[in-house]
Structure 1
């Protein structure tokens, strides 16, 4: 049995206290605890503590420290249960204490995967260009159950998906002005799929895009791409072979035959 002989405040952390014990051989440092643990267990001078009580106090303090870490981690943004568990494991928290902390956080309504999923969906809708499939994938990677993730996506309406996807598509079409209209549309479709938009949304967006290219812009794109192909192949081929390589290259890029023939006449056959 040890007697608690002194309690002192730590110099670097006024919320933590050093506990000194006398186990029969004079006073010595025993352990330290947080202020909450000190108050909860009513530690005071001359209290007698056996080894089991000392270990219980140390465990209680470790639990409090880990709980405080979890609270601090939650202070930046909402977290999923998996994120909290992973974080506490990184901090080498005892597995049993992790379960206890998770239970406490849930009871205090600080941890709820359904609320977390809904919050993340709303955030992605307002701050990113991600489609629903990518948002769902992100939720599942964060440990949210697939059905919970699917339910949360009800907060990402079809109209919002169309609006976001169309805005992105129009911007990409403007940025890809030196490509053929056909290639621009194909790349919009491909990119929207990569961003996690569904087929019905993509079809609706494509239907709302201009279905005919601007003749002037299309011709400028043919010239730009044709000249690139000429530079690429002119050192490797000439005459008929050069023409065929350029024509094939422009066709692969989605240009119409009449535009390709016009380029051949103006930039190759007369050169």
Structure 2
């Protein structure tokens, strides 16, 4: 019969099976072979074989997507982006439903994971919001996740960063310590209000004498070709801009006023 397709041969080729029919050759995954019991001399109608081809295409897309997921937990939007151009919108949504049912896809779980990561590495709410948006998380999930990153959590994370980082800053003058600490906290995703309020209440230890002497020695060499007046003027301006006190600079330059 014209509408019948006969299987002439089935041969394994690595992770696929090469199926030869009286109308051509096809490559199927093992799941398709098992589901439709494809073996030599079996006969399918054209409608049945068309269904087999469609099923195998879906299986291939699903397996590729699961492999994509194996490298990193993904959001629904990231899956849509990955499959764009590889499948129809209907096929993409079907894969998303399937992966969700299998437990491989859950935007709430991903958002909570990003929250836990932000807290563990010392990142603020602006960082978390940016990451959630980058991953294509829906607005309602973003809103709930940011709400879960409450003031108490933020305060704990903020204090931990300050205590860890400020110990590295003692070699700088207090003004520079404040500037460097503020810049770090802002980069880490905390708000201007949070950073300003916290830093303005801190006391900074000044252990910058050694660094100041190194700076002066370096600048004396840098400006050695200038007149004494111009040399001192440039050195003073340079060091004041870095937060050093004028009287300390003056003492090292032996300026008598």
Same fold (TM over 0.5): yes
- Kept in 2, the 8 Å contact 1:122–1:156? The answer is no
CA distance in 2, matches of 1:133, 1:167: 17
Q: Is residue 2:12 matched to residue 1:19?
A: no
1:81 equivalent in structure 2: 76
Which of 247, 251, 254 is residue 258 of structure 1 equivalent to? Answer: 247
Alignment of 1:80-229 (within 5 A): 80-89=75-84, 92-126=86-120, 128-207=121-200, 209-211=202-204, 213-214=205-206, 217-229=207-219
State which of 25, 31, 34 in structure 2 corresponds to 1:36.
31
Distance 1:159 1:227, change over 3 A: farther
Question: How far is 1:105 from its partner?
Answer: 2.1
Contact 1:177–1:221, Cα closer than 8 Å, also in 2: no
> Which one is further off, 63-72 or 226-235?
226-235
Matched, 1:48 2:44: yes
> 1-side partners of 2:135 and 2:58: how far apart?
24
Deviation string 1:132-162 (CA, Å, 9 cap, x unpaired) is 2112101101111234223113443434433
The separation in 2 between residues aligned to 1:167 and 1:17, in whole angstroms, is 57
User: Which among 2, 5, 19 is matched to residue 4 of structure 2?
Assistant: 2
CA contact (8 A) 2:19 2:28 kept: yes
The question of whether the paired residues in 2 share the 8 Å contact of 1:2 and 1:48 is answered with: yes
CA contact (8 A) 2:185 2:195 kept: yes
Q: Which runs of 4+ in 1 moved over 6 A?
A: none
Distance 1:222 1:48 in 2: 87
Alignment RMSD:
2.6
Q: Secondary structure at 1:175's aligned position in 2? A: coil
Deviation at 1:207, TM superposition (A): 4.8
Indicate the SS of the match to 1:10: strand
Would you say the 8 A contact 1:121–1:152 is kept in 2? yes
Distance (whole Å) between structure 2 residues aligned to residue 253 and residue 187 of structure 1: 11
Matching residue of 1:232:
222
- Per-residue deviation, 1:190: 1.6
Counterpart-to-counterpart distance in 1, 2:197 and 2:128: 20
> SS at the partner of 1:30?
strand
Q: Secondary structure at the match of 2:253?
A: helix
Secondary structure in 2 aligned to 1:129? coil
- Counterpart contact for 1:162–1:205, Cα < 8 Å: no
Match of 1:243 among 217, 227, 232: 232
Gaps of 5+ in 2: none
Contact 1:172 1:188 in 2 (8 A): yes
Structure 1's unaligned 5+ residue stretches are 24-28
TM-score, normalization by structure 1: 0.80
Structure 2 SS opposite 1:244: helix
Contact 1:10-1:18 at 8 Å conserved across structures: yes
The count of corresponding residues between Structure 1 and Structure 2 is: 253
